[in-house]
Amino acid sequence: MELEIVQAGHPVLRQQAHSLTPGEIAGKEIQTLIESMRKTMHEAPGVGLAAPQIGLSLQLAVIEDRAEYHKDISAEQLQERERRPVPFHAIINPRITERSDDVVEFFEGCLSLPGFSALVPRARSVRVEFLNERGIKVILEASGWYARILQHEIDHLRGTLYIDRMHSHTFASLENWNKFWKGKPISEIKAACNLKFER
């Protein structure tokens, strides 16, 4: 069953989501929800989807960065973004326990703000603790694009959107992003948008 993705302005996107117990995770309702979220994410398409984005205030998100999503991205850009395929998994009650001081900036979009993108600074690497779709505790370290996806989705569970972290001068429609910024170095984009190179 494909779910409806709620859009910016919906109150649920600004709430602190509720945690789930291992018993709830194992139940049919949450297992069905995870599968429905997976299908909805694929249909969108996107690399992550958080429960608040489908109107549910739950600390649950699904993530998958498929190799097929990389086919229109140059090898240089994939390397710059440290972007590699990530298999499907759910993150439940996630907590970032460590962030690198190394901050990187790339354009991000969001299924709850379709048609727009902006330059967003994020920690290059993170350590995250969460329960997986089987209710098993997982501790993982991620870097590059995967770390960015994790931070974006965990933000959703705290009522935060990428527009809260973006360089506002770089906020653009996807049409204009493709027209003016696609494939250009971040340093050139920042200079054109009058952004200082401070961290």
Smallest CA-to-CA distance from 126 within 164, 167, 156, 94 is with 94
Residue 178 and residue 40: Cα distance in Å, rounded? 25
Told to judge if 175 belongs to the known catalytic residues of this protein, a careful annotator would answer no
Residue 199 and residue 182: Cα distance in Å, rounded? 23
Contact 48, 62 (CB under 8 A): yes
Say which of 4, 35, 153, 198 is annotated catalytic. 153
Coil, helix or strand at residue 5: coil
- What positions carry a catalytic annotation? 153
